[in-house]
Amino acid sequence: MKLILIGYMGSGKSSIGEKLSEVLNVPFKDLDSEIEKQEDSRITDVFSKKGEIYFRKIEKEVLKKTISKKENFVLATGGGTPCYADSMAFMSKMENVVTIYLKTSLDTLCERLFAEKAKRPLIAHLKSEGEVNDFIRKHLFERSYYYNQADLIVETENESIEKIVEKIILKLF
């Protein structure tokens, strides 16, 4: 089974994905890392040098190539991955694929992302916590349509990584 973690940036897809793959004894993949390998460049550089449209095109290509592999794994996607092109529809129609939305509150996302905004190309330019909050609120509103199409929705609020992994496993099996 291929488990695809979706959700807004800062929702814990990578941290939870690594732990989930360890518990299930399957490989962990990070879509951003796969893109960086293909492009031989960091995501921030791809965004700044080639733009978001180019990035989304490559993201879709790498997603399809990764999911089409025969092996089972846990994949952490980027926050926007399910929202562009036909990516969510593609993931939903694939056999042996389960999409899991890590649903995280606006306040938690703002707190996490403001602290690390320099590493996030989409929000690096924002100056204040209020600007980050407004940006995330707007994005969550736009993206929730796609996120809520996931096979499983897992609330992450005030839960440890271990507890979230346990919730996912209980919903799966």
Q: Is 105 annotated as ligand-binding?
A: no
Q: Is 69 annotated as ligand-binding?
A: no
Q: Is 7 annotated as ligand-binding?
A: no
Q: Is 137 annotated as ligand-binding?
A: no
In the chain, which residue ranges form alpha helices assigned H by DSSP?
13-24, 31-39, 43-67, 87-93, 106-115, 129-147, 161-172
Q: Is 103 annotated as ligand-binding?
A: no
Q: Is 79 annotated as ligand-binding?
A: yes
Q: Is 112 annotated as ligand-binding?
A: no
Q: Is 33 annotated as ligand-binding?
A: no
DSSP-derived 3-state class of residue 74: strand
**Alpha-carbon span 93 to 74, nearest angstrom:** 17
Q: Is 21 annotated as ligand-binding?
A: no
CB 163 within 8 A of CB 14: no
Q: Which residues make up each annotated binding site for Mg(2+)?
A: 14
Q: Which residues make up each annotated binding site for ATP?
A: 10-15, 120
Q: Which residues make up each annotated binding site for substrate?
A: 32, 56, 79, 143
Q: Which residues make up each annotated binding site?
A: 10-15, 32, 56, 79, 120, 143
